[in-house]
Amino acid sequence: MGVLKKYGDLLPLTEKTPNVNLEEGSTPLIYLPRISDKLGIKLYGKFEGCNPSGSFKDRGMVLAVAKALEDGKRALICASTGNTSASAAAYAAYAGIPCFVLLPAGKVALGKLAQALMYGAKVIAVKGNFDRALELAREGAEKTGCAMVNSVNPFRLIGQRSGAWEICDVLGKAPDWHAIPVGNAGNISAYWAGYNEYFKLGKIKTLPRMMGFQAEGAAPLVTNQPCPNPETVATAIRIGNPVSAHLARAAVQESSGEFNSVTDEQILSAQRLLASEGGVFAEPASCAPLAGILKLRDLGKLPEGITVTMILTGNGLKDPDTAMSQVGKPIEINDTLEDLMRVLESK
């Protein structure tokens, strides 16, 4: 069941809102026993890579596109580090309307680029970073009347609240810590709003601490100033001037949470750990929270026994280049049993 149907009561739908549904949401909340034991906590990963376009963006995009259609809009526009563009392009294809996506040239993971092109979006590579592409997209939207579907579109963040509702529905409570990567800072804000809504409805009795993690080379919320030249292997969160910074700061402050940064090396090491000891392949940006939890553990700042949910925001398959740069090559053999046995019996 898609997000609009599953959580329609909590969403601003009207009789005129068209049904848009790629069966997004309802992603698995995976308990990770080996990594949990290692850390002395109960660690769950919410695998947003299982969404139809392979990232959490679909939760908000479905509502943003439904409302755009309701509003009579006939085209979508967005800037993106990759996942928003893939999601927008997918829903535009579903709805049968054009989609313009502005990407920072040369800085988008291969799978995401393939998606946007395959779904049939008009893909525009901007010789500049994401922050500049976003400014351009906003101006383009104003001039043309295209629906702007970046998270400045309020419906995006409302739809993304559904992630928090699902976690609470499955756990029967809120986690102690909610660990999440932070780029443009929309998702952390949406989750905080979602938890608060459930709290007010009496569906949960406590609220989580919101723990936001950024890449060291793109950590404006940690340094408390915009980062003019963001740089990180986690291209999804290569963002220097987050649009929802104010909401994210409020979420962290109100929840007694924290922003922390992690190095690219820590991110990639966490990505390998999650895959090889968790069985979950998430893209680099999605592994910033695990990197951060490990860092906090090393600093003695990870309480024992707590329940932690981390949002694995995007699928690892989206960025095969970064994955392949870290791992070995397959063992090639002749097609003989002898060759095979040599490998099976080696240590």
Could you list the residues that contact ligand AN7 (CB under 6 A)? 55, 80-84, 151, 181-187, 236-237, 283, 285-286, 313-314
Query: Which token pair is 205?
Result: 């009795």
In the complex, the smallest distance separating the C-beta of residue 66 from ligand AN7, rounded to whole angstroms, is: 19
CA distance 259 to 265: 18
Which CB atom, from 174 or from 237, has the smaller least distance to ligand AN7? 237
What is the β-pairing status of strands 209-215 and 42-47? unpaired
Radius of gyration, CA atoms only, the chain: 20
Which CB atom, from 19 or from 44, has the smaller least distance to ligand AN7? 44
Which CB atom, from 95 or from 283, has the smaller least distance to ligand AN7? 283
Which CB atom, from 19 or from 224, has the smaller least distance to ligand AN7? 224
Q: What is the DSSP letter of 52?
A: T
CA distance 55 to 47: 9
Which CB atom, from 320 or from 335, has the smaller least distance to ligand AN7? 320
Q: Cα–chain-centroid distance for residue 95?
A: 23
Which CB atom, from 2 or from 82, has the smaller least distance to ligand AN7? 82
Query: Which token pair is 58?
Result: 């679909």
User: Got the DSSP string for 154-193?
Assistant: HHHHHHHTHHHHHHHHHHSS--SEEEEE-SSSHHHHHHHH
Whether residue 60 contacts residue 160, with contact meaning beta carbons closer than 8 Å, is answered with yes
CA distance 255 to 257: 5
Which CB atom, from 70 or from 124, has the smaller least distance to ligand AN7? 124
In the complex, the smallest distance separating the C-beta of residue 15 from ligand AN7, rounded to whole angstroms, is: 30
CA distance 4 to 19: 8
In the complex, the smallest distance separating the C-beta of residue 100 from ligand AN7, rounded to whole angstroms, is: 14
In the complex, the smallest distance separating the C-beta of residue 338 from ligand AN7, rounded to whole angstroms, is: 45
Query: Which token pair is 50?
Result: 């299982």
In the complex, the smallest distance separating the C-beta of residue 173 from ligand AN7, rounded to whole angstroms, is: 24
In the complex, the smallest distance separating the C-beta of residue 234 from ligand AN7, rounded to whole angstroms, is: 8
Name the CA dihedral angle for 63, 111, 32, 294, rounded to a multiple of 10 degrees: -100
Give the full edge-to-edge strand order of the sheet including 258-262.
29-31, 42-47, 307-312, 177-181, 209-215, 258-262
CA distance 182 to 56: 13
In the complex, the smallest distance separating the C-beta of residue 161 from ligand AN7, rounded to whole angstroms, is: 12
In the complex, the smallest distance separating the C-beta of residue 324 from ligand AN7, rounded to whole angstroms, is: 18
Which CB atom, from 78 or from 206, has the smaller least distance to ligand AN7? 78
Tell me which residue of 153, 94, 150, 82 sits closest to 120, measured CA to CA: 94
